[in-house]
Chains A and B, each alone.
Chain A
């Protein structure tokens, strides 16, 4: 079993839709939760970073963490064609020495 499982997609939505991207994890020692965005042929870049259960908002993006269920989500409101990318969840714990990534969900937002 992988430590981090991500809904595989791909996902295609019309412009303006609300998008939900989801990951589950197995190790309760994980403490830090991140979402990266990766455009085609580019390296991933950090979108959101949180370490506690609950919601964190940044503009049109909301990261949600439920540690009791070991479930994390990224919501995108009013999605735009420029949001078309692969979204990767990533999870850390202090002693891991690395971030563990989900396999990514490819999102296409159609105008």
Chain B
């Protein structure tokens, strides 16, 4: 158990809908990262927050947004969903910002029908 909690574990929804994925980092970790893992594209970095502030951004679509709250949990919002958004979405946390060991949650599997 990495100490990172993600909910929901599984989500099935329709095209055009909006979903929110939630992540609670390990106790004491200030950085939260979101990654997308699909079969044909590996583990793709989406966005990183450190203590509530956005620190780094990857190839995150404009339809996607995220935030980190004062209690350090984070949410990833995916809107106007398309079939191609079906993937595993991982949250990871770390003590420092941007480098060092990442502790991953078990992921949220999103299926868009």
Contacts and interface: CB of A to CB of B under 8 A. Distances in A.
A97 B42 contact: no
B105 interface: yes
* Nearest 4 interchain pairs by C-beta: A97-B56, A43-B104, A103-B42, A97-B98
Contacts, number: 66
A45 B56 contact: no
Interface residues of A, number: 25
Contacts of B43: 44, 88, 101, 103-104
Interface residues on B, range: 20 to 34
Majority DSSP secondary structure for residues of A touching B: loop
Nearest to A51: B99
Nearest to B102: A99
Interface string A21-60: 0000000000010101000011111100100000000000
Contacts of A45: 2, 104
A102 B42 CA distance: 7
27 contacts: A41-B106, A42-B107, A43-B92, A44-B43, A44-B104, A45-B2, A46-B102, A49-B101, A88-B42, A92-B98, A94-B98, A95-B98, A96-B98, A96-B99, A97-B55, A97-B56, A98-B33, A98-B56, A98-B58, A98-B98, A100-B45, A101-B35, A101-B43, A101-B45, A103-B41, A103-B42, A103-B43
B51 interface: no
Contacts of B35: 101
Interface string B69-110: 000000000000000000000101000011111111111000
